[in-house]
Structure formats: C-alpha cells, structure tokens
Amino acid sequence: MKNLKSVRLVLASLAIGLFAARASAVVVLPGGLVHAHGTNLAARPELDGVIVADVLRPFSVNNLAFDISGTLQDQVVRTTDGTLSFYTRIFGVQVVRSSGSVPGVRLPV
C-alpha cells in the first residue's frame, strides 16, 4: 500500500512538472529596464475574442523620494474557443521627485 502511494506521488509530480506554465524572474537594478515577453494576435490568432470586461484604474504610490502615478488596465476576453483570458497592463506611468510626503499607496476602487 505504501508503495502504491509513492508511485502515485511520483506520477503526480511528473504530471505537474510536464504541464506547468513557464515562469521567469529577473533582478531589476535601480534605474534598470526589463522587457516583458508577451504575444500578439498575429502570433496567436486563437486569442482573439470579445472583450467582456475592461476596467481602468488610476494609481499612485508616494514615498519620501518619489511620487509614481499611472493607470492599471484589467481586461477579460472570451476567446474564440470560449475560454476566458485575463490581461493586465500598466501605462501612462509618471515619476516625479516627492516633496517629502508620508509613505503610502492609493488605489481608487
């Protein structure tokens, strides 16, 4: 019985390893820039579909050194095969020197 549990555990581990999505991480040094790798409709036409939700949220982060603001976009698309795809994009980012405000984060809901 113990042998059977061990075999099941090994098989489950292999299945997870084979079908897990690829993820990556990099260290971004101060002032550095990292390009995120993504796709587009020309490369993956099956991702085309109907937008079922599109929400824009302004955000700001304030600390003693900088004030950062921009817009966060969350989008849900029902693809041609009926599945839902979730996309997040940050744009319009502005960074200015702070006047010494109290550290905090504001994200209107």
List CB contacts of 67: < 8 A, sequence separation 6 or more. Answer: 60, 61, 95, 96, 97, 98, 101
pTM: 0.53
Q: What is the pLDDT of residues 15-70, one digit of tens each?
A: 555 555 555 677 778 877 777 677 778 888 888 899 999 999 998 888 767 788 89
Cβ burial 41-77 (10 Å sphere, 16+ → b, else e)? eeeeeebebeeeeeeeeeeeebeeeeeeeeeeeeeeb
Residue 60: what residue type?
Answer: S
Eight-class DSSP state of 100: S
For residue 78, what pLDDT is reported? 93
Q: How far apart are CA 48 and CA 42, in angstroms?
A: 10
**Residue (of 47, 25, 29) closest to 37 by Cα position:** 25
